[in-house]
Structure 1
Amino acid sequence: MAAVIRLLRPSSSSSLSLAGRSFSTAVVTEAVKSQTYTQNPAPTAVDPKGRNVQWVFLGCPGVGKGTYASRLSTLLCVPHIATGDLVREELNSGSNLGKQLADIVNQGKLVSDDIIISLLSKRLEAGEGKGESGFILDGFPRTVRQAEILDEVTHIDLVVNLKLPESVLIEKCLGRRICSQCRENFNVASINVKGENGRPGISMAPLLPPPQCVSKLITRADDTEDVVKERLRVYNEKSQPVEDFYRGQGKLLEFDLPGGIQETWPKLLEVLNLDEQDEKQSVAA
């Protein structure tokens, strides 16, 4: 509870001291200028070689924040903290808070700042206690108020904003499946969007399950068309101002996904000035 109070408290000497105790980080060597990358992304001034990065991933529900944040966390040896996972853990806990969250999530509404901050605060403190250094946040902040609170307690180096057309996002969300036994995530949607008005096409092959999982696939309760559209509406209304917040700080990097993982991953690494092989060799050494 004390951590939540600190997070909600206006900027003060105590909040500054908490920021000082937060994760040390390899900072961006120069403020990243907001721009959009499509087929031919250019390298940025990011210098993540120390790997103690403190990054945020933004983007509409279903865009793939978790997929790319998780891959980067493995590559850079920093924890991937997804507020969606924190919420789902609480949902599965059987607590009173979990029951409240179930109603909110199933209606496609945003979870309140107080709840998200409480869950995130506990996770950050637990990580700090284990000696974690750096992080990649996924799904937070979702409002300007959350971004302001985050600024009070820690430093964010870079904010990566992943982008896809709404029609593609809806199709992706409706195609999501989970194996009820192994809990792996799959997607049965096959997406092919022709390029138009100077924008490149988008092609995403389905991520199909192995034979042993086919009969065990389930759909998330909140992955219905009405709920997905409501989530996107709420995001556009409440969360897009967060992009302006970080754009004003010179930290926003906008990235249009060109396709699935095979097409997007190498382009994203190029934009972030990362070399996968070099990073793996560095970790191995």
Structure 2
Amino acid sequence: MAVLSRVLRLRVAGVDRFAVRSFRSSSSSWRNSEIDPKAAAASQQLGEKALPLQRDVKDRNVQWVFLGCPGVGKGTYASKLSTLLGVPHIATGDLVRDELSSSGPLAKQLEEVVNQGKLVSDEIIINLLSKRLEASSAKGETGFILDGFPRTIRQAEILEGVTEIDLVINLKLREEALLAKCLGRRICSECGGNYNVASIDIKAEEGDPGMYMAPLLPPPLCTSKLISRSDDTEEVVKRRLRIYNEMSQPVEEFYRSRGKLLEFDLPGGIPESWPKLLRALNLEDHDDKESAAA
């Protein structure tokens, strides 16, 4: 992933990218990738090792992407899959918030963008992602589950140019539930835990199924320390949803045309959705089954 993180930055700067041989993933067939000789020579001139960005599936973990509107639950499900599969969960939203709280050189610029409900530029996101990938590589981690990236066609093309994404999971949730979830998000100012105080109970009508999503309440010690994110206001959330919907269609089609997009409509909260998502991914959570049987 160290090579990947460096190449991400080089690609944005206009340097020749690694050419990765396209392959299709299935339960039984994979093909190895190659390095374009010219790109390898360019990378060596820049001090890069001429290593393949892709390895056989036996040598690396999954490389998945989560798509979905803000507040849909990408972080929750990506985190659970990260634990289940033993791969790092990399959420670009968290990277942005960490930078905001660091008082670093980008903090002021990011604060203005986030508070206005705008999307952070490709260059900033890729810079933050590259740093995170380098940190993962230093710890010997392989594979990843990306949450919040790519959001634009340009980002998708950059990512495809340097590594192979095995699967893109597109989470969907009706807008009224999305809005309620976003406005109900809370963070513990002491431990950093994420919770949601919204209790969503949508009645079935005119052929549309009902939906219930229980609140994700904090433990007693965190109750008095809950705060809302500064960008979780109704005006900003609606603007974020509108911007996302406008930009998401081309990205979804980008991966759909490559046969990598899995559309998943969330039927409710975690208890209802998690088992169905696992079935859609042909996975089993043995710990979850043991907990249910206990």
Interval containing the TM-score (normalised by the shorter chain): 0.7 to 0.9
Where structure 1 has 5 or more consecutive residues not aligned to the other structure, the ranges are 28-49
1:195, CA displacement in angstroms? 3.0
Which residue is 1:242 aligned to? 251
**1:46-125 alignment, distance < 5 Å:** 52-125=61-134
CA shift in 2, pair 1:123/1:24, >3 Å:
farther
Percentage of identical aligned residues: 67
1:8 aligned partner: 12
Distance 1:155 1:59 in 2: 20
Partner of 2:175: 166
1:2 CA drift (Å) = 5.6
CA distance in 1, matches of 2:6, 2:284: 41
Is the aligned partner of 1:22 residue 2:53?
Answer: yes
SS of the equivalent of 2:146 reads: strand
The alpha-carbon deviation at position 103 of structure 1 amounts to 0.6
1:11–1:152 CA contact under 8 A, matched in 2: no
Deviation at residue 53 of structure 1 after TM alignment: 0.5
Match of 1:205 in 2: 214
Pair 205,91 (structure 1): closer, same or farther in 2 beyond 3 Å: same
| CA distance 1:91–1:227, shift in 2 (3 Å) | same
Residue number among 224, 229, 235 corresponding to 2:233 in the alignment:
224
CA distance in 2, matches of 1:251, 1:101: 32
Aligned to 1:156: 165
Cα contact 2:9–2:127 (8 A) shared by 1 = no
Q: CA deviation at 1:25?
A: 6.1
Change (3 A) 1:243 1:20: farther
Aligned length: 259
Cα distance change on mapping 1:105 and 1:275 into 2, 3 Å: same
User: Is the partner of 2:57 in helix, strand or coil?
Assistant: coil
Q: Distance in 2 between matches of 1:113 and 1:93?
A: 20
Name whichever of 59-68 and 212-221 sits farther off: 212-221
What's 1:188 paired with? 197
Of the two, which has the highest radius of gyration? Answer: 2
Aligned partner of 1:140 in structure 2 is 149
Contact 1:76 1:279 in 2 (8 A): no
Q: What is the TM-score when the length of structure 1 is the normalising length?
A: 0.84
- Give the alignment's TM-score, normalised by structure 2: 0.81
Q: Is the 8 A contact 1:65 1:162 kept in 2?
A: yes
Offset of residue 159 of structure 1: 0.3
Please list the CA deviations of residues 24-63 of structure 1 after superposition, one character each: whole Å capped at 9, or x if unmatched: 4639xxxxxxxxxxxxxxxxxxxxxx87100000000000
Q: How far has the Cα of 1:132 moved from its partner?
A: 1.3
Structure 2 CA distance for partners of 1:205 and 1:192, relative to 1, 3 Å: same
Segments of 5+ residues of structure 2 without an aligned counterpart are: 21-34, 41-49
Partner of 1:262, secondary structure, is helix
Residue 199 of structure 1 and its aligned partner are, at CA, apart by: 3.5
Greater Cα shift, 55-64 or 115-124: 115-124
Q: 8 Å contact 1:57–1:161 — kept in the other structure?
A: yes
Q: Which fold has the larger relative contact order, with Cα–Cα distance below 8 Å and residues 6 or more apart in sequence?
A: 1
